[in-house]
Amino acid sequence: NAGVMQNPRHLVRRRGQEARLRCSPMKGHSHVYWYRQLPEEGLKFMVYLQKENIIDESGMPKERFSAEFPKEGPSILRIQQVVRGDSAAYFCASSPPGSPSYEQYFGPGTRLTVT
Amino acid sequence: SQKIEQNSEALNIQEGKTATLTCNYTNYSPAYLQWYRQDPGRGPVFLLLIRENEKEKRKERLKVTFDTTLKQSLFHITASQPADSATYLCALDNQAGTALIFGKGTTLSVSS
């Protein structure tokens, strides 16, 4: 039973480029969450999605950031025109159907470096 | 808005002792509280969940208490081992029940 998978594990982008982060939830899980962790800071919630729906995007910057969880395929977090401040570890988590913020299962993260 | 504080950034103890980590929260009454472990370069791993109507929960060497009057949770690791060295995160559900709010974590170091 594979856990939450994220790729790539490391991503280097120059300022102004686009970053695409992918997340495959655990089998049977229908809730996906994205979090960002900056150095010396805690995990910050960005967005919560179910299949084909964004349920809560209150933690996501209004500009340059978008997320989707299509009917088929992984969830994607997209950052357009990256800036140095976007450098962080981005974690995806999933949880089974039911209460959305019960225990969450995290992936290994994608470490984004913007040069 | 909800605030979570974990009282110390770092805790150093000797092997075999009990480690006690504190999590305080304000401005909110969560339905439940969770504890996660995070190792360097890895994602958090779920450890325990305790509901508002539960005072205490145990799992092997781990014990969590939840005092809704004090708005505080204590996380204990008994008979600690060097392998317990990690960062421990406290998390609450947000008021909408759509996400977790995490504390900054306490980094525990257990020396042999």
Kindly determine whether residue A100 and residue B97, on different chains, have CB atoms separated by under 8 Å: yes
DSSP-based three-state secondary structure for B1: coil
Q: Is the pLDDT of residue A42 over 60?
A: yes
Token pair recorded at residue A63: 């500009």
Distance in angstroms (rounded) separating the CA atoms of residues A45 and B94: 10
Which of A60, A101, A113 to mutate to probe the B interface, most B CBs <10 Å? A101
Residue B3 CA neighbour count, 13 Å, CB half: 4
Kindly list the residues from chain B whose CB atom is less than 8 angstroms away from the CB atom of residue A42. 89, 102-105
CB-based contact, A104 to chain B, within 8 Å: yes
User: How far does chain B reach from its first CA to its final CA, in angstroms?
Assistant: 41
CB-based contact, A2 to chain B, within 8 Å: no
Q: What band does B99 get if pLDDT is binned at 50, 70 and 90?
A: confident
pLDDT of residue A100: 63
Instruction: List all residues of chain A from 43 to 82 with a beta carbon under 8 Å from chain B.
Output: 43-45, 48, 55-56, 59
* Mean pLDDT confidence for B95-103: 87
Token pair recorded at residue A102: 């019960």
pLDDT of residue A28: 87
For A25-37, what is each residue's pLDDT tens digit?
Answer: 999 898 999 999 9
For A93-108, what is each residue's pLDDT tens digit?
Answer: 999 887 666 789 999 9
Query: Which of B43, B101, B104 lies nearest to residue A107, judging by beta carbons?
Result: B43
Distance in angstroms (rounded) separating the CA atoms of residues A52 and B18: 46
Whether omega before A25 lies within 30 degrees of 0, making that bond cis, reads no
Q: What is the dihedral of CA B79, B58, B87, A112, to 10 degrees?
A: 150
Instruction: List all residues of chain A from 19 to 38 with a beta carbon under 8 Å from chain B.
Output: 33, 35
DSSP for B77-105 reads: ESS--GGG-EEEEEEEE-TTSSSEEE---
Closest residue in B to A109 (Cα–Cα): B43
